[in-house]
Structure formats: structure tokens, C-alpha cells
């Protein structure tokens, strides 16, 4: 399998990789403005001639896109990268970055696909989120062999996404919403323990549970995260 990237248009990328318009795909968004860099998980929606990003306005990704309207949508199936860019320190994810081709924001060195873009317009905005329409300047992807599917990978990534929202709900006093997400994370933790014990997947779940427990939980939430230590 070649490690070289194929280069083409957004349409070429979508056709080759069987991307379906209007479906939310999970990526790592890399941005940079005034020497400040960020890498964070983000959902991206494909249109026929562009992509949509919907960052929360409280995030660093949103602030950097407002200051410097360009970035890279990176696709990876490395769950450790998802964990580091969700809850790791900036020094941790900086080691994962490499210069891009057509934009001044960096990209992920180990991504299997990269979409370098600039923001065309802010198409919608409310109190919590903004919606940016972006034009892809360069699409790069690797021709890869098929990878066997494991439910553990899906469970870990879903848990990380839920944990970011859980933290937001806790900070906003939305306790019932937080409890619902906590139940889902506990379900995924049990799944990972069953299908992938003593692996990188279970290790990330241990770290995630410890992090959530440090957020000052109380009441029903405290009981949900009284997991047994491995």
C-alpha cells in the first residue's frame, strides 16, 4: 500500500471515498491564527461544492476561524489521536502536526485524508453554534487497504464526543442532559471492556473516566462514574 497522497478535487475525493452529502462525518479540525494553533474533533457536512463546519462558539476552533478563516479537515481512524486532540495538552497534539500545502494552518501528519479549505461565509449563527461554509482548495487522500471493523473503535470515539458535551452541560447546569450522556458513556465503557479488554481502547476509556470524575460530579452523576479501577 502506497503512503503517497492522491490529489484531486472535492468531487474526486467524495466519489473515490464514497462520501454521502448531508451526512455528518467525524474529523479532526486543525486551525491557526496569529501563531496560535489548535486541533480538535469536529463534525463536517459535505455539500456538492463545499463543506459545512458547525463549531460551538465557546470553542477555540471557532475563535481561530473567526480570526483566520482557513484550516484543514483531517480524517483519521486512530483513536489515540481523537483522545489527544479532545482532552490532551497543546504540546501533545503539536507533535502530531505537519505543514499543509495550500493554507497556513497545519494538518495531521498521520491523516489518511486531508481537505485544506478557506471559509467562504458565515451562513448561520445562534447563541451556541456558528455554521461556516467552506471551499476546499486541495483534497489529499491515501489509497488504503480495507480495515477490519471493531465496535470498540466506534465506542471510544462516541464516548469522547459525548464527554465534550457532558462537560458543556455540567458547566451550563443542564444536569438531566448530562445524566443522559453519562449513561451512554457507561454503556460504551462496558462494551469496550467486553470486546477489547487490555488494549489501547480500554486504556483510553480508563483515562476518560478519570477525567470525567475530576469534574466535580455529584448526586446521580457521581454514582454513574464510580467505576471499578482496572
Which residues lie below 8 Å from residue 32, measured CB to CB, with a gap of 6+? Answer: 38, 64, 68, 71, 104, 105, 106
The reported pLDDT for the residue numbered 227 is: 52
Dump pLDDT digits (tens) for 76-89: 999 999 999 999 88
State which residues of the chain have pLDDT below 50.
1-2, 228-230
Nearest-angstrom CA–CA distance, 93 and 96: 5
pTM for the whole thing?
A: 0.85
Amino acid at each position: 500500500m502506497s503512503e503517497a497522497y492522491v490529489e484531486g478535487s472535492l468531487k474526486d475525493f467524495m466519489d473515490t471515498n464514497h462520501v454521502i452529502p448531508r451526512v455528518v462525518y467525524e474529523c479532526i479540525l486543525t486551525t491557526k491564527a496569529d501563531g496560535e494553533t489548535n486541533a480538535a474533533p469536529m463534525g463536517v457536512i459535505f455539500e456538492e461544492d463545499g463543506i459545512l463546519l458547525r463549531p460551538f462558539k465557546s470553542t477555540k476552533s471557532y475563535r481561530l476561524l473567526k480570526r483566520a478563516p482557513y484550516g484543514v479537515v483531517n480524517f483519521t481512524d486512530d483513536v489515540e489521536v481523537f483522545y489527544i486532540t479532545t482532552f490532551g495538552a497543546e504540546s501533545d497534539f503539536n507533535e502530531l502536526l505537519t505543514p499543509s500545502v495550500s493554507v497556513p494552518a497545519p494538518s495531521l501528519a498521520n491523516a489518511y485524508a486531508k481537505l485544506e479549505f478557506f471559509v467562504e461565509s458565515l451562513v448561520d449563527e445562534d447563541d451556541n453554534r456558528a455554521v461556516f461554509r467552506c471551499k476546499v482548495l486541495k483534497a489529499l487522500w491515501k489509497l488504503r487497504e480495507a480495515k477490519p471493523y471493531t465496535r470498540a473503535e466506534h465506542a471510544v470515539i462516541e464516548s469522547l464526543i459525548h464527554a465534550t458535551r457532558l462537560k458543556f452541560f455540567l458547566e451550563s447546569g443542564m444536569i438531566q442532559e448530562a445524566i443522559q450522556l453519562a449513561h451512554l458513556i457507561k454503556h460504551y465503557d462496558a462494551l469496550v471492556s467486553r470486546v477489547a479488554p487490555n488494549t489501547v481502547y480500554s486504556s483510553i476509556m480508563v483515562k476518560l473516566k478519570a477525567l470525567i470524575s475530576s469534574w466535580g460530579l455529584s448526586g446521580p452523576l457521581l454514582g454513574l462514574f464510580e467505576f471499578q479501577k482496572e
